[in-house]
A and B are shown apart, each in its own frame.
Chain A
Amino acid sequence: MEQIIFYILAAIIVIATLFAITERHTVHAIVYLVTSFFALAVIFYLLGAPLVAVFEVIIYAGAIMVLFLFVIMMLDLGHPEKVSSPGWRDWWPATLLGGVLLAATVLLLTVPHAGPAGGGAIGVRDFARALFRQYGIAVEVISMQLLFALVGALYLGRRR
């Protein structure tokens, strides 16, 4: 059951991302991307990471994508006829490099590898303990980074 859901969600992610990167209208691209992120959040939940799944929906689909939408609407970029869409000349290096990456990934299937036996599911309690005890310094560094990003964004966005 969970396996079938995983593969369906994987197909949704790939198709939605494909539509997102070929869409000329940036707002449509972002809506496709939100779909993809929702499916990815469910995959995170299936992989035993409920907290990361919730944060994916709240922060990625909720905050970051809405930030993109804000900027697109503020700068009035939602006119696909003004955007120069990439032609075949732009797509072929992308296709080439993406194909190489995909070939390398598919090679993973052919190489048999015996991973260690799976550990149990990770509860929110274990997650929080690791986050704030073992990686407490990383949380502090990330908070400083967010503060610096805030100051930098304020500096760049000020009126002159």
Chain B
Amino acid sequence: MIVPLAHVLILAGIIFALGLACVIAWRTNVIMMLIGIEIMLNAAMLVAVGGSRLWGATDGQVFALMIMAMTSAEVSLALALVVYLHRRKKTVNADEFDSMKG
């Protein structure tokens, strides 16, 4: 282990806090909210890889890979939704999407 695990966890915590701040602050822009989610998932991957290194187990790396595959599925769906919503309302402002059609 090149650095103590606590430092890796602190770095991951800082990245996660930045991603959370991005999601909360940019509530009006769907694309920036998705970017914030990406940042938070990266922090989670850093924790998994750091733990995998500490214990010498492969599980953390496998889990990081699973997060990556999950993210690519999630982003493709979310961006398809953004395109769909933009086609309907001509905006990506999340406040505009306030009506349901039953």
Contact = CB atoms under 8 A, between A and B. Distances in A.
A63 B61 CA distance: 20
Interface residue range, chain B: 35 or more
B27 to A, nearest CB: 7
Interface residue range, chain A: 35 or more
Contact of A115 (B2, B29, B54, B69): B54
A10 B31 contact: no
Interface in B13-32: 13-22, 24-29, 31-32
A52 B19 CA distance: 21
Interface of B: 1-3, 5-11, 13-22, 24-29, 31-32, 34-36, 38-39, 42, 45-46, 49-50, 52-59, 61-62, 64-66, 68-77, 79-84, 86, 92-93
Nearest first, the 6 closest Cβ-Cβ pairs linking A and B are A119-B56, A105-B13, A149-B73, A130-B58, A94-B21, A153-B80
Interface of A: 2-3, 6-7, 10, 13-14, 17-18, 20-21, 26, 29-30, 33, 36-37, 40, 43-44, 46-49, 51-52, 55-56, 59-60, 63-64, 67-68, 71-72, 74-75, 77, 83-84, 86, 90-91, 93-95, 97-99, 101-102, 104-106, 108-109, 113, 115-116, 118-122, 126-127, 129-131, 134-135, 138, 142, 145-146, 148-150, 152-153, 156-157
